[in-house]
Every structure is written in structure tokens, then in C-alpha cells.
Amino acid sequence: MMGKLNSTRNSSIGLLLCLLLASCCNTRDNSSGQSNKKRIVVQTIIENKLLVDSTEIGLSTIISNLEVPWEIAWGQDNWIWFTEQRGRISKVNPATGERKILLNIADVWHERTAGLLGMALHPDMKKFPYVVVDYTYRQDTTILSRLVRYTSINDTLINPVLLLEIPGNTAHNGSRVTIGPDGKIFWATGDAVHSERAQDTKSLNGKILRLNIDGSIPKDNPIEKSAVWAFGYRNIQGLVYAANGILYTSEHGDATDDEVNLIRKGGNYGWPDVTGFYDTPAEQAYNRKKTIAEPLKAWTPTIAPAGIAYYGSDAIPEWHNSLLLTTLKAQSLRVLQLDKAGKTILSERVFFNKVLGRLRSVCVSPDGDVYIATSNRDWNPPKDFPKASDDRIVRVFSIKPGDKLSPAYVNLQQHTDSLSTPGEEIASGGQLIYNQYCSSCHKQDGNGIAGTFPPLRAAKQAVGNKQELIHILLNGLSGPIKVNGQKYNQQMPAFHFLSDTEIAEVLTYVRSAFDNQATPITANEVKSERKANQ
């Protein structure tokens, strides 16, 4: 469906934000390995503008009514090129909102997170007019991920060349492609819901692959005659070859430890044996056998990191030399300040929390404007989304003297805390743990997602035998099950890392919320079941 175009560069995204209140809770900060108490941060509208220290920031919608834009990239023609998950590649003029459709890929297979995903433009399009995309394809019952190169001529993409094809799935396909300044392709692949593939260097799943532009294998790859550049990944969702010459990724963890990584040639990034930092005895023992590259930063509870970009501009000076990270579950833009060498994250700041919804991709223009794509019409929309104009690409820019602005801008004071939505109840105990770990799948109302994630409301597994429920939370669940008469077949991670008290609290909440009226669970009952499982 053609996007509804806005007529002016600074058209309002219509944000009205009265109050944001941060949750005050205990979270695990994997950069220190310890728990820390988060402070409360209150934010209000101030002069209808967003203020980053002394820099005023404006927001405007460039294009709206899109069908799940997955990748956005700044083109050398000064247009924004983007993919939509169902198979369409377009570009939009950020100054006028004019859209041009470049290609509809007929054989894209779309379900859940499968579809048309990553895209990269060659850094020298005049000499090499190539666009490389990653999409999911289905042949009978076989699901595949394809890497295909197109040639760009006169606002069309022609002459598809299949560079590589690997096993795919409805999830964990990875999604990102980038091309380095030397013309080499980097393709981030997921484990395709087979975690054992990530450590198997003969498999191309759970890897970063490096190819020549014609699909051949570079002679200087770390493994002879192999496309594998680095390995040990669950599901990479962000990939950027930064102006500082470093390759960075963002990656979805399982129940814990979303990551941002600095990628080194031949590096092992741990999955599934090490998650986040190797901070448990088992992970430390594994690292002594196989050297594992630790992340620059990890998040527990998870935030579902997505697209990532490098910000080297001085247009927003407070963001200079930072990684810009969009998030899905956390519904925010994270600004990760780097040290001069680009090898350490010094600080994290959170912006637009739950204002725009799920954020999938980000890119930066040469003059320092930031462009963000929302993902509110995908398979897992958050509460209160999608809005009528979703999905959209928005512009974040430094307000300059003389700029003509629409009236609706918000002020978000600087902070490093995750924030709740306006008027949202501050949860505690079992409800807080549920919101942090469970609600993204089973939803805040306990109704789940039809056909994908089962409901907890009136579910036998939730309100029935207490020992069975504790066992599920401690050990996870995989394979087909029936809940309230409907079949489901998704993996649920193990939550054994939670304490006995935390498991008791969250399960008691599940058994009493959503009109459930089951008896509570005690920490001693969890302790007994945990001991029986050892």
C-alpha cells in the first residue's frame, strides 16, 4: 500500500506527552554483574521541544502508512532507501516525502519475523550500482534465507544474482547486511532456532559471513574456503560498519542478555554456551576452553535491540561518537557513548521511550539528521499501537535558527533509566517481574498472541498443578502443546536464573491475575522443585 505522504519537511508526528515516570526497580546490569537501584526520573513538556543538554531537537514524520519497514539506509542520491517486510523496496525524498517504488520481490515469504529484511547499498554506487538484500524464501516445506544482489538503474532494481542461500525459519533469521569500504559484504545470520548451529563453523547459521561482491569467498577470511567471519550468535538484529573502521552488532538474547558487540575477525561470541558476560562458573569454565569475546554491553531484563547506526556528526554534539540503537521491546532509542577508540561504551541514554512504539531501524544523513523506522504493524504490536499513521519513518534533527516548526514537540530530560508510559501504574513484585520478562509474549492482559504465544488466562498450565508450572519456568518449554484447545509450537526459555522468591512472586501473580483464581506458590515450593531438577 502506498504511503500517505506528508507535504512538508517538518510535519508533526503529533506527539503530546504530559508525564513520564520511571520505574523504580532492581535490574541486573551486566556491565558490572551486580544489581543496582534505579532512580525515579520525572519528565514534563517544556516549551514543546525536546532538549538534549543545550541542543534543541525536532521530530517530524517523513512518510507514514508503511507495511513494517525493516531496513532504512541513506542513499548517495540523498534519498532514504527502505525495505518493507512483505517484499517491497522503495526510496523516499526526506525533503518532500515523495516516494518511488523500486521493486516488489514476488518470491518473498512472510510470516512472523520472516520476509524481506536487511539491505545494503554499495558505498560507491556510481562505479558499482549494487543493492544487496536478505529475504526469506519458502520452497515446499523448506524455509531458506537468501542473499541477493540487484543492479540499480533509473530507479529500478534489475538483474537479480543469488549470492548465497542458507537454512531459514519463521524466526531467528538474523536480518542485516552491510558493505565495507573495501566492497566486501557482511551478512549477519541467525541460528534459525537451532542453537547448536551457532558454534558449528561448518554451518552458516548464527554467523557473520563475509563475501566478495560477486558472492565468492575472500582469500583472507579466517577459515579457508569458508564465508564465516565470526560466529556464536543467536539472532543479530543490527549491523553497522562504522566510520571509525569498526564493525558493531546488536543481538537478541534469550531470557537474558541482549548484547552490543564489537566484531573481530574469527571471534567466537559464545551463543548458546555463554550469554552476555562470562560471569557464571560454567561460563568461566567454558571460556577457559574456548576464548569468548565479551560484549561491549548487555541488558537483563532484555530490551530487544534492533537496528544500529554510528553517529559521527557534530549536528547533535551530545551524540557525537555514539552508537544509536533502536529497540523493539523497550520501544526507545538508546544513545551509547563510545570512548575515543570506539572500543568501550561509556554511557547509555534513553530517548522517545514508548512514544513512537517499536523501533526497528535507524540511519544517519551526512548533515547529522537521524531517521528512525517504527515497527508497530509487525507480528507483535505493543500496547496502544499501531497508531492510525503507523508504520512510519521519522526525522530527528537539531533545530536551527529560522527553522519553521510544527507546534507538537516534546522535551525529554536527559536520563539513563527505562521509563513507563504516561499514567502507567508502577508495578512491583510479581507484576514487575511479569512485565519485564513475560508480557512481551503473553501480553499484559495475559491473552498472548493468537496462534503464536499461548494465553495464560484460564490456561491449565498456569492454574493447574503447581509443580508442573514451576518446572516449566525453571526449565523452559519447547515443542507442540495445547492451551485452551489451540495448538502452539514455540520455544519458551528457562528462567532458572531468577531466585526462588522471584519465581514464586511471578507465578503467584500469573495464578491470581487475568481472572485466574489459583492458589499462590511459595519460595519453598520453588526451592524443592529446583532441587528435584538437579
Mean pLDDT of 470-478: 89
Proportion of the chain in helix, strand, coil states, percent, rounded to 5: 15, 35, 55
Provide the Cα torsion 365, 366, 369, 373; round to 10°. Answer: 10
Extract the C-alpha cell encoding 297.
554491553
- Tell me which of 86-95, 142-151, 355-364, 422-431 is least confident: 422-431
Count Cα atoms within 13 angstroms, Cβ side, for 124. Answer: 8
The residue among 326, 406, 407, 335 whose CA lies nearest residue 373 is 326
Mean pLDDT of all residues in 192-215: 97
Cross-strand partners of 348 = 336
pLDDT at residue 507 is higher than 90: yes
C-alpha cell at 104: 516488489
CB 118 within 8 A of CB 134: yes
Minimum mean pLDDT among 12-16, 250-254, 527-531: which range? 12-16
Hey, which residues does 297 pair with through a beta bridge?
260
Task: Look at residue 412 and tell me whether its pLDDT is greater than 50.
Answer: no
Confidence at residue 30, expressed as pLDDT on a 0 to 100 scale: 40
Q: Which of 116-120, 363-367, 481-485 is predicted with the least confidence, judged by mean pLDDT?
A: 481-485
Taking alpha carbons only, the member of 436, 501, 408 closest to residue 18 is 408
Q: If pLDDT is split at 50, 70 and 90, which confidence band does 9 have?
A: very low
- Residue 250's pLDDT is 98
Q: What pTM value is reported for the model? A: 0.86
In the predicted model, what is the mean pLDDT of residues 228-249?
Answer: 97
What integer pLDDT is reported at residue 403 of this predicted model? 67
Residues in the chain: 534
Instruction: Find cell 525493516 and name the residue.
Output: 70
The span from the CA of 464 to the CA of 457, in Å, is: 12
Closest CA to 354 of 329, 324, 373: 329
pLDDT of 1 above 70: no
pLDDT band at residue 278 under the 50/70/90 scheme = very high
434-451 pLDDT tens trace: 988 898 889 989 998 888
Q: Which one is predicted more confidently, 54 or 126?
A: 126
Domain ranges of the chain: 4-398, 432-533
Could you give the percent of the chain with pLDDT greater than 70? 85
341 pLDDT higher than 80: yes
Pair 494, 474: CB distance under 8 Å: yes
The per-residue pLDDT for 312 is 97
Q: What is the pLDDT of residue 104?
A: 98
pLDDT of residue 31: 37
Residue 241's pLDDT is 95
Least confident of 83-87, 354-358, 420-424: 420-424
The answer to whether 415 and 493 have CB atoms below 8 angstroms apart is no
CATH architecture for the domain at 432-533: Orthogonal Bundle (1.10)
From CA 318, how far away is CA 298, in angstroms rounded?
A: 23
- DSSP tag of 479: S
In Å, what is the CA distance from 502 to each residue of 341, 428, 436?
A: 40, 11, 12
Answer whether residue 15 shows pLDDT above 90. Answer: no
Reported confidence tier of residue 239, pLDDT bands at 50, 70, 90: very high
Report which residue type is found at 490.
Answer: Q
Q: Are residues 242 and 264 in contact, defined by beta-carbon separation less than 8 angstroms? A: no
- The better pLDDT of the pair 175, 213 is held by 213
Q: Which three cell numbers stand for residue 83?
A: 525495505
On whether the CB atoms of residues 350 and 334 are closer than 8 A, the answer is yes
Is 10's pLDDT higher than 60? no
Is pLDDT of 76 > 70? Answer: yes
Predicted confidence at residue 404, as pLDDT, reads 60
> Quick check: 95 pLDDT over 70?
yes
Q: What is the CATH number of domain 4-398?
A: 2.120.10.30
Average pLDDT over residues 199-214: 98
Distance between CA atoms of residues 86 and 100, nearest Å:
17
- What is the pLDDT of the chain when averaged over all its residues? 86
3-class DSSP assignment, residue 475: helix
| Residue whose entry in the numeric block shows the C-alpha cell 556528526 | 313
C-alpha cell recorded at residue 282: 560454567
Q: What are the E-state strand segments in 289-426?
A: 297-300, 305-311, 322-327, 333-338, 345-351, 359-364, 370-374, 393-398
Q: With 50 as the cut, is the pLDDT of residue 198 above it? A: yes
List, for residues 379-407, the tens digit of each pLDDT value.
Answer: 999 888 999 999 999 999 988 776 665 43
What pLDDT is attached to residue 399? 82
Q: Is the pLDDT of residue 70 over 50?
A: yes
Question: What residues are paired with 21 via a beta bridge?
Answer: 42
Winning range, highest mean pLDDT, from 42-56, 258-272, 389-403? 258-272
